[in-house]
Amino acid sequence: MLKRVFLLAVFLIFLQLPWVKAQPEQDTTWDFGRIKFGEVAKHVFVYKNDSAVDLNIKGTNASCGCMVSKVDKEKLAPGEEANLEVAFNSFGYSGEVRQFVYLNTDSRDNPVVKFTIKADVKK
């Protein structure tokens, strides 16, 4: 019995270590809903550094030339947030669209964070 209590205590302590963090639960998907053909839709994602160490943001990439993205900070202290602004140009699209923006960081556990935008483009 004492051995089980000891193992449980060790396990619970292990979960509190800064490098044993699960994927942060953050809003990484945005649905613009129905938008008009040619409209430029914008959204700002908020990304929080949920780790116990400083996080450096190396930049962003988009899955297509239809999207522009920028982040307002390059370094985040633990608990600090950055805004990731995304603009989707619907010109040339019709129907349901799904595109991605990738936030590149120096995190060992999660170096690339994928953000998804959705839209239903109507002419």
Mean pLDDT of 96-116: 96
**Residues 41-53 pLDDT 10s:** 999 999 999 999 9
- For 61, residues 6+ apart whose C-beta sits below 8 A from its C-beta are 101, 102, 104
Q: What is the pLDDT of residue 47?
A: 96
Q: What is the pLDDT of residue 26?
A: 74
Mean pLDDT of 29-54: 96
Q: Is 112 exposed, middle or buried (0-12, 13-18, 19+ CB in 10 A)?
A: exposed
Taking alpha carbons only, the member of 98, 88, 73, 86 closest to residue 44 is 86
Pairing mode of beta strands 55-62, 95-105: antiparallel
Mean pLDDT of 69-88: 97
Mean pLDDT of 37-44: 97
Contact 11, 99 (CB under 8 A): no
Question: How far is Cα of residue 50 from the mean position of the Cα atoms in its chain?
Answer: 12
Q: State the chain's mean pLDDT as an integer.
A: 86
Encoded amino acid at 91, one letter = F
Q: Which one has a higher pLDDT value, 2 or 85?
A: 85
- pTM here is 0.77
Q: Is residue 70's pLDDT more than 70?
A: yes
Q: Which one has a higher pLDDT value, 26 or 53?
A: 53
